[in-house]
Chains A and B, each alone.
Chain A
């Protein structure tokens, strides 16, 4: 079994978000980058399948050379090989187009994307990729089990979850629940040493069109100071919520 885990590289969750060039470009100076948390859950699940099913795990990212340390980290976590498609994507559809061209020459049984990336929050790569490939997509995947070619899956939605069956190949959108936080693999020294020897291939793709263009960014307006109410004066809070904020 061949598994492809798509890795989006995003600002660390504590990052302050700023823009430059008249608010047209995200300021990366001083920002620490990490594996998109949703992808990290998917990667861990893939490594378990490597252990239980002898699956071969490939990680891929569409991005420039600054992404390589993160790909090495994925290798240290346990991926067998890494691929970097050397371009900076303009939108999710472009990522899909580059991934599709990679898939023309490589077959994967299971493709894992994250439910969404926490930077642009598009939540689109998995669904678009699967639909282009004419294979099923399961978003918000919180359970996956493979027997032969058959899959048992669970999807979470607002206010519930559902059980599904499917067969390979498939694309899933992973998130917390697929594995738990405590299960995430932290690379050890041996993993880090081995990662240096593992293949990291770089492809230069032909340019493709994007479907959208980000014109500029803005930050939410500053809000005023909090209005504190005395703990002994709960009626005042209720009154404020009812008559000033009008939310209850």
Chain B
């Protein structure tokens, strides 16, 4: 058995989910007594991978082409998979990771299992627990192929430092096979993305209007958190739809989720339920969200949030 983790980076810097994947891959490599191989694109700070137990990194320079190109990336990774005869490939559950997984599975003739939340309970064949029904349930899936790709749900394993001596190999960037070209990228400036965030602060209709969103933004800023919202809030155009979280929006799997003026409808809660700790602030003690919260304050957001933000600022 051999394992390969696909490490994501941005502007040369490894993303946090990359370190989580390395930690997860290291655990598997230890359990199986094998080495841990990784692949990444344009990584500059690869030294950190030696703190997370990666033995060998295939680093692919994409030259002028700075955008994520699912076709060329998967072609390049598929070459390495064949060369290394990899049996288990691990991708992240980011939008890019879940874009790559299925494409790569066809190119490498692998089974694909998404939203994995644990280390496999069995290896030959792979058997692993994953989230389904938008976090309302889990299932144990078994691979029927001798090569399997899994996408690991973020924050489900965490970071685990382990020293290794890293061997760096530069690898060729393969040509594409289809006609699909990225022309420009529009990144939300300096904002933490919901998928990457340790903490997410989310606002609902209880905030009354977009003009009040500074409450959410200020709180998010002191916590270094991403901002999110409920579906009606984005439907009404108070916030961009990219902030809509829940069963039909983005999934949230942060360490801390703070919901302000969100009632806690089943579709909302399903999508954020794999967050570890949930805090609910709502002026209605009967709000359903309190049932799935860990901590709560019954109170008026307009009173509580500014005070909370102020206190957190002072604590810094």
Contacts and interface: CB of A to CB of B under 8 A. Distances in A.
A214 B183 contact: no
Give the secondary structure class of A's interface. mixed
Contacts of A30: none
A156 interface: yes
Nearest to A181: B235
B294 interface: yes
B105 interface: yes
A210 interface: yes
Given A128-B102, A136-B179, A219-B137, A229 B296 contact: yes
Given A158-B95, A226-B294, A176 B139 contact: no
A150 B147 CA distance: 36
Contacts, number: 258
Given A165-B183, A228-B298, A240-B295, A157 B102 contact: no
A213 B198 CA distance: 33
A119 B132 contact: yes
Contacts of A136: 71, 178-180
A13 interface: yes
A121 B134 contact: yes
B280 to A, nearest CB: 7
Interface string B57-97: 00000000001101100100000000000000000001110
Interface string A204-243: 0000011111111111100100111111001101101100
A94 B294 CA distance: 40
B193 A245 contact: no
Nearest to B17: A158
B242 A93 contact: no
Contacts of B202: none
| Interface residue range, chain A | 35 or more
Contacts of B101: 123-124, 127
Interface residues of B, number: 95
Interface string A107-119: 0000000001011
A92 B112 contact: yes
A121 B295 contact: no
Contacts of A176: 241, 244, 248-249
Interface in A73-122: 92-93, 116, 118-122
The residue among B71, B114, B199, B300 with the most chain A CB atoms within 10 A of its own CB is B114
Given A212-B113, A231-B303, A240-B295, A161 B133 contact: no
Interface of B: 67-68, 70-71, 74, 94-96, 98-99, 101-103, 105-107, 110-115, 127, 131-145, 177-188, 191-196, 198-199, 223, 231, 235, 241-242, 244, 247-249, 255-256, 266-267, 270, 273, 276-277, 279-280, 290-300, 303-304, 307-308, 311-312, 315
Interface of A: 11, 13-14, 17, 19, 37-38, 92-93, 116, 118-128, 130-132, 134-140, 142, 156-167, 170, 176-177, 180-182, 209-220, 223, 226-231, 234-235, 237-238, 240-241, 245, 247-248
